[in-house]
Structures are given as C-alpha cells and as structure tokens.
Amino acid sequence: MTDTLDTVTADGTPAEVRAELDAWLEQNWDPELTVAEWWQRLAAGRWASPAMPVEAGGRGYGRDLTAAVSTGLAEANVVGPPTGLGLMLAAPTIAVHGTPEQVDRYVPEILDGSVAWCQLFSEPGAGSDLAGLQAKAVRDGDEWVVTGQKVWTSGGHMASKGMLIARTDVDAPKHQGITYFAIDMDQPGVEVRPLREMTGQALFNEVFLDEARVPHDAIIGGQGAGWAVANTTLAFERASLGGGGKHPVSVAPGQKAGRLQNRVGDYTERVNRGPDGEGGRGMGTSAMVELARGAGCADDPVVRQEIVKLHILGEVNRLNMLRAKAGGSRHGGEGNLAKLAMSELVRRSRDVGNLVIGADGMLAPADSATGGVVQEVTTFSPAPAIYGGTDQVQRNIIGERVLGLPKEPGPAKETPFRELLQN
C-alpha cells in the first residue's frame, strides 16, 4: 500500500488529533466531489480507518484517538468513511491474519469504499452454535468448491466480496475443520435473497452457495484455522457494535449501492437510516434531550431521570471500552459486555423515546408530529439483541470464559465433526 504521509505515529492527544484533522478537512473537504473521490482522499490521508495498523493504511490509533477522529468528522458535518462490514470487520481481520499480499489486495478497496463486503457466517442450523456450520468447501486444484446456505447476511445484496467460513475437514473436531475464505459474491454459484424486516427494510439476506468457487490463495489465516480467524472477526464486531460515540453521516459503499458517482455534499443532510442502513444520528442523549424539548416535557422530573439513566449507561460502556483499550484486555470479555450494553441502550432509547412522545408513538412514522424517529427505533429495537451474537450467547461467553463457570455438557472436543449429531 502506498504511504501518502511522511511519518505516521499513534502518538498525540485527542486534542492534537482533532487539530490535525480539522486542518486536513479545511484543505480537503469539498461537497462538490463525488463520494468516490472523497473516500479516496480520506483513505490517502489515512483517516478512513485510523485504528488500522500503519502498514494496512491506518494510523495505529487507540480507541480514544479513533473516537476523536469520528467525533471530528461528525462535528464538521462531512460524510464519514465507507460504512459496512468491510471497514468494520474484513479489513481489521485481514490486517491481523492475512499475508502482506492479501492486505495489499483487499484492504485498499475497502478503505476507499470501492468494494463492499458481507459476512457469511450464520446458517439456518448454526447460529448460536456457529461452529456447527455445515457449508462445505472441497479442494479442486487451485480452487475450493463451496456448497451450503448462509442466513442473516447483512448487506449481502450490495456486497461484491464475502467473509466466508466453511467446513473443509469433516474428520477434524468441529472447531478445527473450518477455513476462512474471501469469496467473490458476483459468480453464478451465489444467490442472494433479501429478508424483509418489520421496519420495512431488508438489511439482511439469505445466501445460497451452489458449487461457488474461491481461489486457494483467498484463504485467510491458513487452512483449518478458520475458527480462530472467525473469532477475531466476531471480537471486532462486538467491540464495534458496542463502542458508542459520535459518528459522522454514513453512506453505503460499493458499486451496487450506486452512491460512488453521486455528489458527496448531497448526503450531509441525511439524518435517518435509509433503505441501506445509511444515516448519521441515532437516539443518543443529545437527540433525546432535543426530542423532549420539542415535546415540551424537558422539565418533567421522570423524563429527565430516564434520560440521565440512558446517558449513564452510554458513558459506562464508553469508559469500559476506553479502559480496555488503554490497558489491554483485562479479562477478554470487554467486547461481549459492550455488545450487551449496546442492546440495552437501544431498548432504553425505545422506552424513553416513547415516554417522551406519548400517544404520538402509536402513529405511523409518516403521521407522527415528531418525525417518526422513535417509531423507527421501536421497530428496530429487537434486532441488536440478536445480530452480532445474541445476548444469550454473550452471557454464555462471559460466564464460561471470564467467570470460569462450567460449560454445558456435550461431546468431547476431540470428537470428529462427522460423528456429531447435526443441528
């Protein structure tokens, strides 16, 4: 990857990073650019994913400096980096487990938003027990032939690449016979079917793999090491979902989304999630305070108390993640705790929002005097407790891996997958 900076270090304070970013934005932000041109500038300046290692196009920032960048972009009212699972999961996973050649092949097109990714993990019979997956990959020369079904694939309808885990050895124990691939979604053996949600959106999909092909050199982390690589991806997912903080306006990446050639300035006023999950502002404390003021109940002591509770939960989650990043992982469960906190934050946002707007919450979004944002949060609120690993799975992980509680009874770890009862 070409280094566009003379020197890149992870040193500095959040204030110093903000000053550098503000000066850079003054020179580089131009609403007349296309989305693609703007993202190319962000990537070249290493602002697209500052938490990534320097050798992978980032700045090596910790969580506090990364948060300073995100907040700076949001407060400058500019479009943020490409959203989606490529930037959130694929790029950092490849930076950890990929070869230098794979980093150079896959990461730049993620950072500049030209290629969107999806995550092909869960299956109809392998959700909570992900290691029980049955999608199989069979070696055929320099390629692998993949057959199986995946489900709850976020953004699969817009993705050109996928993070795929498939079983490559049925004689190995179930956690050891899995391999992690970077697969091309645009091929005859891949069919994507959207799943319509009660929000009216279709962010999730089911994906059918019928002798789809993936090159051997697209294996990330080594053959049979897919479970370890997948756990890295899941750790990034939980930490990202639970991280909180202020985020800039988001735009969907990739050619299929149809945004790359649009004027970037057209997206800076987008405030709610669009049909592809775009948006920049949720129902955090500031938004809730403004909602209460608009509804004339900002002085109600019960409303004020509930908003403060929401704020405290968000701050505890933020500080927990900052502490973990500053001193390293204390116990390995920080990401799981953040994911649980995020689920609770969304539920509390729903409840406090409806407390604030009262009977208006029973109206359809289009008929609501408050713009429908509370209705959107309400219908979306069950999802965070399910995607990215259910709340129950997070509690099991914390109980077993952090607290040392006994695991649920089951077959010995050494049992070959083919001898296990299938889900």
Q: What is the pLDDT along the chain (423 residues), one digit of tens a residue?
A: 444 444 555 568 999 999 999 999 999 999 999 999 999 999 999 999 999 999 999 999 988 899 899 999 999 999 999 989 999 999 999 999 999 999 999 999 999 999 999 999 999 988 878 999 999 999 999 999 999 999 999 899 999 999 999 999 999 999 999 999 999 999 999 999 999 888 777 888 999 999 999 999 999 999 999 999 999 998 888 777 655 557 898 899 999 999 999 999 999 864 433 444 444 334 778 889 999 999 999 999 999 999 999 999 988 888 877 776 655 556 778 878 888 988 999 999 999 999 999 999 999 888 988 888 899 899 989 988 888 778 998 899 899 989 999 988 888 888 998 888 876
Q: Which residues contact 64 (CB under 8 A, 6 or more apart)?
A: 14, 322, 325, 326
Task: Look at residue 309 and tell me if it is in a domain.
Answer: yes
Six token digits for residue 402: 């952090």
Q: How far apart are CA 83 and CA 85, in angstroms?
A: 7
pLDDT for position 193: 96
Q: In terms of domains, do 220 and 121 share one?
A: yes
Task: Look at residue 162 and tell me if it is in a domain.
Answer: yes
Q: In terms of domains, do 301 and 361 share one?
A: yes
Q: In terms of domains, do 268 and 287 share one?
A: no
SS3 for 344?
helix
Q: In terms of domains, do 221 and 298 share one?
A: no
Provide the domain limits for residue 64: 1-81+248-281
Count of Cβ atoms closer than 10 Å to residue 126 Cβ: 23
Q: In terms of domains, do 290 and 277 share one?
A: no
Task: Look at residue 358 and tell me if it is in a domain.
Answer: yes
What is the pTM for the complete model shown?
Answer: 0.81
Q: Read off the CATH number of the domain in which 135 is found.
A: 2.40.110.10
Task: Look at residue 302 and tell me if it is in a domain.
Answer: yes
Q: In terms of domains, do 260 and 331 share one?
A: no
pLDDT for position 93: 98
SS3 for 235?
helix
Six token digits for residue 201: 């959106």
Q: In terms of domains, do 355 and 263 share one?
A: no
| Centroid of chain to Cα 170 | 30
Q: In terms of domains, do 277 and 310 share one?
A: no
Closest CA to 156 of 279, 278, 257, 49: 257
Q: Which residues contact 314 (CB under 8 A, 6 or more apart)?
A: 244, 284, 285, 345
Q: How far apart are CA 58 and CA 8, in angstroms?
A: 9
Please tell me the total count of domains within the chain: 3
pLDDT for position 121: 97
Buried b (16+ CB within 10 A) or exposed e, 43-69: bbbbbbbbbbbbebbbbbbebebbbbb
Task: Look at residue 242 and tell me if it is in a domain.
Answer: no
pLDDT for position 281: 39
Task: Look at residue 354 and tell me if it is in a domain.
Answer: yes
Q: In terms of domains, do 46 and 71 share one?
A: yes
pLDDT for position 3: 44
Q: How far apart are CA 399 and CA 384, in angstroms?
A: 20
Q: Which residues are catalytic?
A: 237
Task: Look at residue 323 and tell me if it is in a domain.
Answer: yes
SS3 for 67?
helix
- The label of the residue with tokens 């090159």 reads 215
Identify the domain boundary among 201, 229, 257: 229
Q: In terms of domains, do 64 and 129 share one?
A: no
SS3 for 401?
helix
Task: Look at residue 415 and tell me if it is in a domain.
Answer: no
Q: In terms of domains, do 222 and 304 share one?
A: no
pLDDT for position 8: 55
Q: In terms of domains, do 129 and 211 share one?
A: yes
